[in-house]
Structure 1
Amino acid sequence: MNRKDVHLPHDDLTVDRKLSVVLRDLRDSPLECVSLNLLITSLGYRSFVPLLVIFALPNLFLFVPGSSVITGPPLIFVAMQLVLGRTAVWLPDFLGKRSIEHQAFARILTRALPWIEWVERLVHPRYWILSRRAADLTVGLACLVMSVFMFLPIPFGNTVPALSVIMMALSLSERDGLWLLGGFALSFASFAFVAGLFAAGAFAMMRFF
């Protein structure tokens, strides 16, 4: 990793561009390296989406033991900022200044962009009635609760909350009401599952004593 950072002109950045367009511009730019801070600045309001997805994704796979211990705290950190109404994700300097050489970044994006564009074709603006602040607050709170659930040591309890976070993050990016409803449905299912576990545990303890 290289720590040298380069900044793009702020005038070239818009919050309404698709994620694939922003990433393609970064890939085709003459930068020497790309830092997390630069990526967040380039994505603007959309910087929440890739970070929520990146931190939730490992929890979808049951063959990654202990992933929630690593990804849970940063996921909570990002979701809390969304609840608080920040326009972009803030990272501490020791994380934000970390950078990767542009050549390596371009190789990664060349492979990732077809998948990102495929998802973007599935998620698109429809049935969206929330204002930006209302969407940030509701999605942020739901993602915060789900990230706490993922952090709890519940056997096989990470997959559904992680999927709900990913669906809600993507819905927020493209203002897709159907994906938002799907994400909330999974959130309610996760909440019912965790509440049922705690209720069963409390009932068992009451019977024991």
Structure 2
Amino acid sequence: MKEDTTVPPTEKRTSDLLEDAIRGFDSDTVPLGALIDLLAERAFGMVLLVLALPCAIPFLYGVPQVMSLPMVFVAAQLAAGRRTLWLPEKLRQRTLKKASLVDMITRAKPWLRRLEHISRPRLGTLIRRPTEQIIGFFFVLFSLTIMVPLPLTNTLPGIAIAIASLGFIERDGLLVLAGTILGIIWTFVLLSAAGGLIAILSAAINAMGQ
């Protein structure tokens, strides 16, 4: 008998849970620590998703860099096999505008809905130890590339982490794999471009010195 993987009417989708969590704050700003404490009850995937979504928006500057450092901490703890989250107090005290977060969720909802529609529990090995710890290590690398202060350097790794994070939430190893592969390709391209630029600069410096 085929397993029914549809979501029951009473069970909210990930996108709705995120929106409800952010709208639940009374103030105009949302403390990062309080938001992570709330989302941490729903596991690492939810926290990484809400941190990755702003990074996935093209030509958005400032916010991705704010989100990238907490993402490094969260991903490192996933790689280490921790089940509870910890952030330094300085990061926990950072605040984000509630209106901006709500707008971000609204903009992301259409493609989140598409992924939620096709997602279902599969390839369970990818969302269990030790594989999830290896993926956590890759998440650290992807998060570090978001810190690069160049146009569009945040978009692809942000999308990669968001897809893989949704896979963790929905228990869909295929989405986790797809997001991880996208992030690996992006990291390889970025490192190759950086290596080529260094080689060009080195050759130019040597030429000037002759």
Shorter-chain TM-score range: 0.5 to 0.7
Corresponding residue of 2:187: 191
- Matched position secondary structure for 2:189: helix
Gaps of 5+ in 1: 1-16, 99-103
Taking structure 2 as the reference length, what is the TM-score of the superposition?
Answer: 0.66
* Contact kept? 1:62, 1:156, Cα under 8 Å: yes
Taking structure 1 as the reference length, what is the TM-score of the superposition?
Answer: 0.66
Corresponding residue of 1:39: 38
Question: Which amino acid in the other structure matches residue 202 of structure 1?
Answer: I
Does residue 1:128 correspond to 2:124, yes or no?
Answer: yes
Corresponding residue of 2:7: none
* Alpha-carbon distance between aligned partners in 2 of 1:155 and 1:63, rounded to the nearest angstrom: 6
* Alpha-carbon distance between aligned partners in 2 of 1:41 and 1:184, rounded to the nearest angstrom: 21
1:23-172 residue pairs with structure 2 within 5 A?
23=17, 36=35, 39-40=38-39, 42-43=41-42, 46=43, 48-92=44-88, 118=113, 119-130=115-126, 132-172=128-168
* Alpha-carbon distance between aligned partners in 2 of 1:149 and 1:175, rounded to the nearest angstrom: 26
- Matched position secondary structure for 2:85: coil
Question: Which amino acid in the other structure matches residue 175 of structure 1?
Answer: R
Q: Percent identity?
A: 27
Deviation at 1:93, TM superposition (A): 6.2
* Alpha-carbon distance between aligned partners in 2 of 1:66 and 1:96, rounded to the nearest angstrom: 17
Deviation at 1:164, TM superposition (A): 0.7
The 1:41–1:186 alpha-carbon spacing in structure 2 relative to 1, beyond 3 Å, is: closer
Deviation at 1:174, TM superposition (A): 2.5
Runs of 4+ in 1 over 6 A off after TM superposition: 93-98
* Alpha-carbon distance between aligned partners in 1 of 2:84 and 2:123, rounded to the nearest angstrom: 25
* Alpha-carbon distance between aligned partners in 2 of 1:201 and 1:172, rounded to the nearest angstrom: 36
Deviation at 1:97, TM superposition (A): 9.7
* Alpha-carbon distance between aligned partners in 2 of 1:152 and 1:38, rounded to the nearest angstrom: 27
* Alpha-carbon distance between aligned partners in 2 of 1:37 and 1:156, rounded to the nearest angstrom: 26
* Contact kept? 2:126, 2:132, Cα under 8 Å: no
Aligned alpha-carbon RMSD (Å): 3.7
